[in-house]
Structure 1
Amino acid sequence: MAESAVAFLLKQLSTFLLTQSTRLGGGLQREMQFIRDELGSMRAFLRDAELKEDDVSELKEWVGQVREVAYDTQDVIDEFIMRFACNRSDGFYGRVHNFYCSIKNIRAHNRISSKIESIKCRVKDISERHNRYRSDYSFSERGSYSADVEDVVSQFRRNALLIDEAELVGIEKPKRGLISQILDGSSNLKVVSVVGMVGMGKTTLVKRVYEDVNVKRHFQLHAWLTISQTFHMKVVLKDLIRRQLFKEINEAVPQEVESMDGDKLRAFVQDFLQQKKYSYVIVLDDLWKLESWEAIKYAFPETNCSSRIMLTTRISDTASGCCTKSNDYVHKMQFLSDEESWTLFCSKTFADNCCPPHLEDVSRGILHKCKGLPLAIASIGGVLASKDKSKVDEWEMILHSLGGELEGIGKLERVKKILLLSYNDLPWFLKSCLLYMSIYPEDWDVSVRFLLQTWIAEGFMLQRKGMTMVEVANGYLNELINRSLIQVAELDHDGSIIYCNIHGILRDIILTKAREQNLVMLVTNGDYTRLPENIRRIAIHEFIENHHEYNRFKHLRSLLIFGYRNPLNESSLSKLLSGHPKLLNVLNLQGAKLKSIPKEVFKLFHLKYLNLQDTGVEIISQSIGNLQNLEYLNLVNTHVMELPIGILKLKKLRELLVFHKGDYSKNFAVRGFKAPREIGRLLSLEVLDSIDADNDETVREIGKLAQLRELSITKLRREDGKELCSSLGKLTNLRKLFVYSIKEDEILDRQHSMSPTPQALQMLRLSGRLEKVPQWLSSLQGLTVIELCGSGLRENPLESLQDLPNLVKIIFNKAYEGEQLCFKAGGFQKLKRLELQRLEQLKWVRVEKDALPCLQYLIMADCKQVNELPWGIQNLNKLQSLGLYNMGNELVMKLQDKGSEEYQKIVKIPEIVIANWIDGQWDEHFL
């Protein structure tokens, strides 16, 4: 983490020296250059030093000093920028203001010069120790921490291979599936990858398959190779030759093998396997990098003998990268179910496999922390097995201090080291992103949209040419998911991630790491007095009002509040900000009981992220213009109806969210905001949601926002259609478009051409009457989601949509007034979700053969004239869920008769829901 702090600082210093050289003056500039150069020379040393710091107290102290001096330097830079950002003004009062600013700037310059001189002295001292430690501690070999971890992992793998069959839980089904893949009769070489988070039992599962009697009998040669993070092809191939292949055929190993290099060893293995023409099964356990596979795979020839390569990895891209042929197979490990977890826990904890009744509640609480991770369950069970079963308080102590137990010795310490192996392998810019996940409460499903914006505001992103910061952040998230460090909690139907989370045990580990690194501190009891003086980020779980001074917040960069035990009002927020955290970048106040924004907020010059969603804020003052660095402003579900002209000063604003949710059973439940004139001056805007189309000028201004990727516009009138189409034709980066008419019977005039049509458009929602389907709709080749609400179309909309190659979701809500819908053969090849709602004239639906081949979810609601299931529904082989809401009684009665012809059409669908709206809620039952 010190490496991350230094790397981010070096990036900031380079920009700072380039842009502020005239204000710095020669002396300060030279001192800042010295700090940059010295820290730059230490950076390469830091990564190895951080690996060893847990074992060498001197190194730990030194790494901490480097980190803190990097943080303090960043503070000085930001203070300098803030102090010297005083704008020049004209007129008499302007000259007085400028004179006042110049006096303040002289004082600030002297104070900042003193701070920089102090930092320079500290850097000199740190640099001297750096030179000494570089010679005292050899970094030519792997650090002692890494070597220790390798020993722990090796022992863990040996233990996994020795587990008795009777101890295994939840392994039979995946074992049978893998054996069927191995013995599928294919004569070609086949690769089977098993991928999942560390500790999920990949090695154990593959070993059971490898040792299965049917598998053993099927292959003539068998080999098990442990690859690990420190892959050396020469070592691995010699092990394969000496201790496995030649041992299997009872022959002596040729002497020349000892002197062979990697390429010759690879050719030797290949020739051996080709000449013998034996069928073989070879396991590559713990493969970290695709490069390792690329280096070794040519040793395994295609012999047409039904040979198999099995591999385990914690990295998804490695698993899929090894399985490139059509017959290859990737198996994704699943966490244990609650029942399986309980069985494993009891077998590891209690001699008779039975939990005493007085320990069941606390045991299930401990088990909940493990979230189905076999490594954690087995390790914690082993610790508890030695505890006194009569002392419930000891068990409850472990429940409430499980994160601390991971810092101890023995089995739980080994769990920590094994999981940290994945953390230590991360590049420096991903470490901060992962540690930042510790801000969220336990079991919290994290909104990906908000997570990415906070990462950006924190400065964790490295700019990449041709990519927006959101795209870079999304790439970081995908890489952490790829490495099995973050889990996907909910996917949208187009494959985008809506929510993610982190395993509870890993959260405890990174929470400790984040606290050690002074990255994040949690406040869970309202006591701020125990926080360190130089705290950088605070996450408050359940805000409690207290009367302590907040003067230790001066270095604060982020303040995030999740939940409120006491209401956070204007007065308590002012007190919270009374410590003058003038360097604050992120302020999350979602759900606070605010009616207005305290003036202290508008003094936060460096603020980039301000989240006021679900607060009671009614008015945004002109002072919003003081937040010159604001990039993200969230006013969703507040009472704000209009934004002041001061908003136009926010030249860096990228996302502006000011919509109000209502009852989504109605089309026109979304309300936007009245924008100031010349909203088109906010040229950095990428997301604008939702703006009222008050007049032609507002609609015309939208066309100036060339960076827009998401746009929601409300209160659109028929006469605005031509101007809107003209503006949309200029928004070539647009990905999502939501349009709402001013009232339900107002016609959306969408027939005007858009030139050029926004071909990047992926999601489209049109809410309002349409005279006919817009002609340009069929040209949107990238469209994945379309929603037509209240369209009242008389012509069949399917003909315009059926050939769109990427469409995965359709919602028709009161959109069609015809009696029939026919999905023609070959149409909608990728559609996964179809919702037909409030189609009051609809009588029947037909699905021709080879239409909707990928459909997984079909929902029909308030289509009461439909008395039969869609014709051809039995041919939708991938349909997972059928939902029928407020449908006609005749259809419902047919389906309730399980002997009826209608029921037989859907008997193979896994989930069938029939529901009616009764007394303000859905009364659901499942067939």
Structure 2
Amino acid sequence: MLHMPKIMKDILSRVGYGGTKEMEDDVQNLVEILRAQLTNKRYLIIIDDLWSTRDWHTIECAFVENNNGSRVITTTRIQDVAIACCYPSQGHVFQMQLLNELHSSTLFFKRLFGTQDGCPEQLRKISNDMLRKCKGVPLAITSIASLLANQSMHVETWEKIRNSMGSGLDTNPTMEWMSHVLSLSYNDLSHELKTCLLYLGVYPEDHAIGKFDLVRKWIAEGFVRERHGLDLEEAAENCFNELINRSMIKPFFNAHGEVQGCQVHDLMLDLIISKCKKENFMTIIDRNFAMIGALQVRRISHQFHNRDIALVIERVTQSQVRSCKFFSAADCMPLLSKFELLRVLDMDGPGSYVRPEYMCLDLTAINHLFLLRYLKVSYFRLVLPKKFGKLKHLTTLDIESTILCPWDQFSDFTSLSSLRHLILPSQFGDVVRINGLSKLCNLRTLINFRIRPSLIRTSLMTAPPSTHFWSNFIRRPQHLQRLRLGRHIPKVPNCIVHAHRLAYLEGLLVQELRSDGIQVLAQLPCLIYLDLGAITIPEKNIIIHPNTFPSLKHFIFNVSCELSFLTFEPSAMPRLQILRIDLDGHEESTMQLQEDSPVGGIENLASLEKIFQED
């Protein structure tokens, strides 16, 4: 069953309606807003993977029949749902056909060899045998091809896989045989990859799974180990990429073409849940209060919000639980003190944003969970302990989508010596409320970092470099890799040059950008992503010199003032792939380059793939 408020909000956001995060989850109200938004418009809307006629009858109420040539396309695996989606005398059910022999072989060989003609002759007959067994089913073809891509090119190996495929779709029902094919790919995984894949069973069907959240949970669970010179984060990302390469998960991308997360095919999720149950890897509590898994559980996924679910939770042996994920949790929260071995705790509130009247989630007793490594809370008003005295192993604290109670009081981080990732609330105030931040020597990610302007001004302009705030902070967390600022600062701090491992710098908005500030940033050896904004540029021009920004791949530059020119000299930013320039404040009379653009030297960016310029 679809989560209807989310579907409606997704459609609204795609037809240009802003502010959907703050909207109530009232389906009828969302339908009326969408109808108003579509009035007098010509639209094309695609609804993917419908499973019930009831869902369709709810969705269709939002579509206005305005005779403007609009179209609605739905996809489903159920014939009755397809028929229900057709308007009388207007709709048409299109039965998707299986791939023919040519398209099947093209998909298969391109996945394996990059070209249809790349198959060695000795493997051609075996390949054709396997293709015949797949009977044109795309998922079967890509699954087998992905499995073969990780094998040696020996005839014996390929024959073994062909023989293990069984008789194929000729004698087995589609779903049963597909499960068998997917099991072949699963069985070929290493123990580490199998464990990482099974963990995806914590998420419901069609859920968008964030990459960073997932890999941090893998690490917290102890699924991934450092190896071959890779640290934990790099090793976990390698596992994530390997599952993509093997077609076990499907990636999705952000607006800049970067992998943001993944989704799991329904059939693959069915296989995962089956394996989880068989191996007692995870217990899933669904909307029917069915418990998929044993009562002696290691991991729990609560996928439906209801007060009565607390009674279901009481049935499990909570003292053995290592990981707990609550979807739409509120008044069904169990006593956390009973989860003595908990490593991962991820809790979503009842909505898709935080409202001031929401109940407060009191986590002041969380210090008893001394093994806790990962804590994420979303869509709650939140009470944290004043001190995290016993959470010596906590590596991730993500409370971005929360409101703190009280808002002007924050915790002492001094004891969180293992903390690697700190994501603060977006509405959070000044950094002076955070105690012990500069002592977090293992910190790699810091999001929504805000500093009181008076503190910055005093530190940067009057205090000695060895004692001012930035120098004290940047020198301590030597492993800092991601930093997102939440407030503008006077200038680029010189001491940021000490952040040798900094790879992502977001929201760096400076009151005054000068050439020396650019040079400071240009020296960062690992900087991959830079989001830089300038309110004033006294020199009226920016020059990116040769052999600077050696690792930068993505550069966003927002200018809110007059800019005469921005020039990229030869060999500048040698790895830059994406360039986005937003010129808000320039005047046409100041532009000195052709085509009314102050940007020059684009041809010197040898690796550039995409460029966006707005003015």
Shorter-chain TM band: 0.5 to 0.7
CA contact (8 A) 1:226 1:285 kept: no
Letter of the aligned partner of 1:508 in structure 2?
D
Structure 2: how far apart are the matches of 1:710 and 1:286? 33
CA separation of 1:643/1:759 partners in 2, compared to 1, >3 Å: closer, same or farther? farther
What do the CA deviations read for 1:770-808 (whole angstroms, capped 9, x no partner)? Answer: 415666776102111112224424122243699423222
Task: Please state if 1:764 is matched with 2:527.
Answer: no
Partner of 1:705: 477
The one-letter code sitting in structure 2 at the alignment partner of 1:831 is L
Q: Matched residues in 1 for 2:521 and 2:533: separation?
A: 22
- Distance in 1, matches of 2:315 and 2:545, equals 56
1:543 to 305, 309, 313: 305
**Offset of 1:643 from its aligned partner?**
6.6
1:485 equivalent to 2:252? Answer: no
Corresponding position of 1:747 = 512
The corresponding residue for 1:651 is: 417
The structural deviation recorded for 1:551 is: 5.9
Residue 193 of structure 1 and its aligned partner are, at CA, apart by 3.4
Query: Would the aligned equivalents of 1:550 and 1:577 in 2 still touch at CA under 8 Å?
Result: no
SS at match of 2:392: coil
CA distance in 2, matches of 1:830, 1:785: 11
Partner deviation per Cα, 1:271-317 (whole Å, 9 max, x = no partner): xxxxxxxxxxxxx9998366633x689xxxxxxxxxxxxx9999xxx
Which residue of structure 1 lines up, in the alignment, with residue 273 of structure 2? 511
Q: Does 1:736 align with 2:504?
A: yes
Q: Does 1:621 align with 2:380?
A: no
1:194 to 110, 113, 122: 110
What pairs up with 1:884-895 in 2 under 5 angstroms?
none
Q: Distance in 1 between matches of 2:584 and 2:607?
A: 22
Select 2:148's aligned residue among 266, 288, 293: 288
On the 8 A contact 2:396/2:419 being kept in 1, the answer is yes
3-state SS, counterpart of residue 768 of structure 1: strand
Matched, 1:440 2:203: yes
Q: Distance in 2 between matches of 1:651 and 1:497?
A: 30
Q: Alignment partner for residue 717 of structure 1, among 468, 489, 500?
A: 489
Give the Cα separation in 1 of the matches to 2:470 and 2:248.
44
Deviation track 1:182-208 (CA, whole Å, cap 9, x = no partner) reads xxxxxxxxxx93327xxxxx9xx98xx
Counterpart Cα distance in 2 of 1:426 and 1:523: 27
Q: Distance in 2 between matches of 1:710 and 1:285?
A: 36
CA distance 1:413–1:170, shift in 2 (3 Å): closer
Q: What's the TM-score, normalizing by structure 1?
A: 0.45
* Aligned-pair CA distance for 1:530: 8.1
Query: What is the alpha-carbon distance in structure 1 between the residues aligned to residue 578 and residue 489 of structure 2?
Result: 27
RMSD, matched Cα = 4.1
- 2:566 maps to 797
CA contact (8 A) 1:678 1:698 kept: no
Q: 1:705 is aligned with what amino acid?
A: P
Of residues 313, 337, 340 in structure 2, which corresponds to 1:582? 340
Q: What 5-or-longer segments of structure 1 have no aligned partner?
A: 1-166, 179-191, 197-201, 211-220, 229-283, 298-310, 315-374, 384-408, 662-669, 840-927
How many angstroms apart in 1 are the aligned matches of 2:439 and 2:533? 28
Within 5 Å, give how 1:223-238 maps onto structure 2.
224-226=124-126
Q: State the identity as a percent.
A: 21
Shift of 1:502: 1.6
Question: Cα distance 1:798–1:825, how it changes in 2: closer, same or farther (>3 A)?
Answer: closer
Contact 1:526 1:544 in 2 (8 A): no
Tell me the equivalent position of 2:193: 430
Residues 754 and 776 of structure 1 are in contact (CA less than 8 Å); yes or no, is this contact kept in structure 2? no
Cα distance in 2 for residues equivalent to 1:492 and 1:527: 38
Letter of the 1:834 counterpart: I
Q: Give, in angstroms, the shift of residue 689 of structure 1.
A: 1.1
Q: Show the counterpart of 1:360.
A: none
Q: Is the 8 A contact 2:364 2:384 kept in 1?
A: no
Aligned to 2:223: 460
Aligned to 2:294: 532
| Aligned partner (choices 601, 607, 623) of residue 372 of structure 2 | 607
Q: Distance in 2 between matches of 1:525 and 1:553?
A: 20
Q: Is it true that 1:631 corresponds to 2:395 in the alignment?
A: yes
8 Å Cα contact 1:763/1:783 also seen in 2: yes
Return the alpha-carbon distance in structure 2 between the equivalents of residues 504 and 529 of structure 1: 19
Deviations 1:530-575 (CA, angstroms, capped at 9, x unpaired): 86332111111122112523662111111112235xxx05xx42x3
The aligned residue for residue 171 of structure 1 is: 100
Deviation at 1:654, TM superposition (A): 0.4
1:480 alignment partner AA: L
Superposition deviation, residue 637 in structure 1: 2.9
Aligned residue number for residue 354 of structure 1: none
* Equivalent residue in structure 2 for 1:690, among 424, 448, 456: 448
How many angstroms apart in 2 are the aligned matches of 1:223 and 1:582? 54
- Alignment map for 1:663-678 (pairs within 5 Å): 673-678=431-436
Contact 2:430 2:451 in 1 (8 A): no
Secondary structure of 2:284 counterpart: strand
Residues 815 and 784 of structure 1, relative CA distance in 2, 3 Å threshold: farther
User: What amino acid is aligned across from residue 484 of structure 1 in structure 2?
Assistant: S
* 1:649-671 Cα distance to aligned partner (Å, 9 max, x none): 1000000011428xxxxxxxx97
Letter of the aligned partner of 1:577 in structure 2? L
Kept in 1, the 8 Å contact 2:413–2:436? The answer is no
Q: Any idea what the Cα deviations from partners look like across 1:885-910, whole Å, max 9, x if unmatched?
A: xxxxxxxxxxxxxxxxxxxxxxxxxx
Q: In 2 relative to 1, CA 645–522 (structure 1 residues): closer, same or farther, beyond 3 Å? A: closer
Q: C-alpha deviations, 1:856-888, integer Å up to 9, x for none?
A: xxxxxxxxxxxxxxxxxxxxxxxxxxxxxxxxx
Task: Please give the secondary structure, in 2, of the residue aligned with 1:422.
Answer: helix
- The structure with the larger Rg is 1
- CA distance in 1 between partners of 2:306 and 2:255 (Å): 36
Counterparts of 1:755 and 1:804 in 2: how far apart (Å)? Answer: 12
CA separation of 1:674 and 1:171: change in aligned 2, threshold 3 A: farther
Whether contact under 8 Å (1:532, 1:552) holds in the other structure is no
Q: Which has the higher helix share?
A: 1
Rounded Cα–Cα distance in structure 2 between residues aligned with 1:714 and 1:313: 57
Contact kept? 2:414, 2:435, Cα under 8 Å: no
Quote the residue 2:264 is aligned against.
Answer: 502
Structure 2, unmatched stretches of 5+, are 1-95, 129-143, 351-357, 460-467, 589-595
Quote the offset at 1:748 in angstroms: 4.6
Given the superposition, is the C-alpha separation of residues 313 and 810 from structure 1 closer, same or farther in structure 2, using an over 3 Å criterion? farther
Could you say which residue in structure 2 is the equivalent of 1:300?
none
Q: Check the 8 A contact 1:631/1:655 in 2, yes or no.
A: yes
Name the SS for the 1:733 alignment partner. coil
Offset, 1:818: 4.3
How far off its partner does 1:594 sit? 4.6
Distance 1:439 1:465 in 2: 29
Structural mapping, 1:245-644, within 5 Å: 288=148, 292-293=152-153, 412-464=175-227, 466-490=229-253, 493=256, 496-525=258-287, 527=289, 532-546=294-308, 547-548=310-311, 549=314, 552-563=317-328, 568-569=330-331, 572-573=332-333, 575-577=334-336, 580-592=338-350, 593-617=358-382, 619-640=383-404, 644=410
Tell me the distance in 1 between the aligned counterparts of 2:126 and 2:146. 6
Q: 1:823 to 1:491 in 2, by over 3 A?
A: same
The equivalent of 2:556 in structure 1 is 787
